[in-house]
A and B are shown apart, each in its own frame.
Chain A
Amino acid sequence: GENVEQHPSTLSVQEGDSAVIKCTYSDSASNYFPWYKQELGKGPQLIIDIRSNVGEKKDQRIAVTLNKTAKHFSLHITETQPEDSAVYFCAAGMYSSASKIIFGSGTRLSIRP
């Protein structure tokens, strides 16, 4: 089955700097890679997703890149702001199957003022 590894587990960056979170997956059949943000006391919320027919996707200050050959994908947050402080989860699964999706272990991002 699919296995997703996420690094780092914690990340602290200065406000205004960029943050990068990396994930690797094991199942070469996976072709759907969402990222979720979890704020304190809340459930995770989708912030961006990418399918394997695309190498990069951007939405304002966040972007995700995918390297299918190496089976890794990354989340990039530029010009970080205090509201970016949260736990971020990557996940991998099949776009053609909404039955289940496997999550990484999470990255706690802290933005220093």
Chain B
Amino acid sequence: NAGVTQTPKFRILKIGQSMTLQCTQDMNHNYMYWYRQDPGMGLKLIYYSVGAGITDKGEVPNGYNVSRSTTEDFPLRLELAAPSQTSVYFCASRDRKGDRDMNTEAFFGQGTRLTVV
């Protein structure tokens, strides 16, 4: 069972560089999320998607972009990396209960540790 897969696991970027964090899930989940985790700050929501073609901003979207062209994939794009974006990034997905938009268990990937220098 693959679940939620994130690549890469680690990355060092120079200030101003760009990169895409990849996230794919094989559970046919409608909802997908990107979080960042900073020490002592918990998980902050960057962007989320309720289905293919639909994305919305979370708590801390500045400096990031997302797209959701398929159900499986939800890449996160950093256009101009800044030291403030040094963090651990988690992708998560969640199923939808039938026809109702109900909260269910979120499944997380193993994370991408990004350092911007």
Pick from B31, B35, B42, B45: contact of A105, CB under 8 Å: B42
Query: For residue B45, which residue of chain A has the nearest CB?
Result: A100
Interface pair A99/B102, CB less than 8 Å apart: no
Query: For residue A101, which residue of chain B has the nearest CB?
Result: B103
Check if B68 is an interface residue, CB within 8 A of chain A.
no
Query: For residue B113, which residue of chain A has the nearest CB?
Result: A41
With A32-B103, A96-B101, A99-B101 as known contacts, state yes or no: A44 contacts B90, CB within 8 Å. Answer: yes
Stretch of B69-77, B78-86, B104-112 at the chain-chain interface: B104-112
Q: Chain A residues near B33 (CB, 8 Å)?
A: 100
Measured between C-beta atoms, what is the minimum distance from B28 to chain A in Å? 15
Pick from A41, A44, A94: contact of B108, CB under 8 Å: A44
Interface pair B101/A103, CB less than 8 Å apart: no
Interface of chain B: mostly helix, strand, loop or mixed: strand
Check if A98 is an interface residue, CB within 8 A of chain B.
yes
In Å, the complex CA distance between A3 and B102 comes to: 20
B1-30: which have CB < 8 Å to A?
4
A17-54: which have CB < 8 Å to B?
32, 34, 36, 41-46, 49
Q: How many pairs of A and B residues are in contact by the CB < 8 Å rule?
A: 71
Interface pair A95/B102, CB less than 8 Å apart: yes
With A43-B4, A43-B90, A96-B101 as known contacts, state yes or no: A101 contacts B40, CB within 8 Å. Answer: no
Interface pair A43/B101, CB less than 8 Å apart: no
With A98-B96, A100-B33, A101-B106 as known contacts, state yes or no: A9 contacts B40, CB within 8 Å. Answer: yes
In Å, the complex CA distance between A100 and B92 comes to: 11
B87-107: which have CB < 8 Å to A?
90, 92, 94, 96, 100-106
With A44-B108, A99-B50 as known contacts, state yes or no: A105 contacts B102, CB within 8 Å. Answer: no
In Å, the complex CA distance between A32 and B105 comes to: 11
Interface residues of B (CB under 8 A from A): 4, 31, 33, 35, 40-45, 48, 50, 56, 58-59, 90, 92, 94, 96, 100-106, 108-111
25 A-B interface contacts by CB (under 8 A)? A6-B42, A9-B40, A34-B103, A34-B105, A42-B110, A43-B108, A43-B109, A43-B110, A44-B43, A44-B90, A93-B103, A94-B103, A96-B103, A97-B103, A98-B31, A99-B48, A99-B56, A100-B45, A100-B48, A100-B58, A101-B106, A103-B43, A105-B40, A105-B42, A106-B43
